[in-house]
Amino acid sequence: MCQPRLRNIHSIFTIFEDSTKSVEGRMSVVEIQPEYGYCVLVAVGSSFMLVWKAMKVGQKRRELKIKYPTMYSPDNDLFNCYQRAHQNTLEMYPSFLTLLLLGGLHSPITSALCGVVYCAGRVVYALGYYTGDPKKRMRGGFGYLGLLGLLYTTGRLASQLLGWY
């Protein structure tokens, strides 16, 4: 049986700095810790969250007979709440994934936990919006604490690569 070789690889990529542009002329190595797998699992799980939200919008679209390509209904606020919950998550998704996967290089467990908090917040946000009362979406506001944590871990990665600490 052939075993994957990734278990033996710790340094996946190296960032080179041109010695003519740097006083120190150093090379930075980013090591992928085995715990980084948790970040990958959170990223995969977050894609299931997006699929769930898309299915909820599609279900509501069929139920209310709102045809494509109509993005928002001029006369059905409940559908608009479903659509908005999904769309707002999509708007934030590239930033979330970037911060999760970069911050995880420095602090994989912290980043994974922050990612779970963010995703849980997005689910609660959607469930609040699905009531038809847009104010109830704020119940998921705690998810932004996870995003702030990801900003921190990504900032730590950047400062480490730059040799600031």
Distance CA 161, CA 28 (A): 6
- The strand pairing partners of 11, in sequence order, are 31
Q: How large is the angle between the packed helices 108-129 and 36-64, nearest 10 degrees?
A: 10
Q: Could you tell me if 66 and 76 are in contact, meaning their C-beta atoms sit under 8 angstroms apart?
A: yes
Considering the four listed CATH numbers 3.30.70.1710, 3.90.226.10, 1.20.120.550, 3.40.50.1460, the one that applies to the domain covering 35-161 is 1.20.120.550
pLDDT digits (tens, 9 = 90+) for 86-131: 999 999 999 999 999 999 999 999 999 999 999 999 999 999 999 9
Q: Which residue has the higher pLDDT, 22 or 72?
A: 72
Q: What pTM was estimated for this model as a whole?
A: 0.82
pLDDT band at 78 (very low <50, low <70, confident <90, very high): very high
CA distances in angstroms from 71 to 58, 65, 91, 110, 151, listed in the order given: 11, 13, 15, 37, 31
Band of residue 17 on the pLDDT scale cut at 50, 70, 90: very low
Paired with 15 in beta bridges are 28
Query: Are 86 and 60 contacting, i.e. CB atoms less than 8 angstroms apart?
Result: no
Residue that has been written with the tokens 């279900």 in this structure:
59
Token digits of residue 77: 């606020």
User: Quick check: 15 pLDDT over 60?
Assistant: no
The ranges assigned to domains in the chain are 35-161
Confidence of residue 25 (pLDDT cuts 50, 70, 90): low
CA angle 113, 118, 121 (to 5 degrees): 125
pLDDT-based confidence at residue 51 (cuts at 50, 70, 90): very high
Query: What percent of the chain is modeled with pLDDT above 90?
Result: 75
Distance CA 98, CA 150 (A): 9
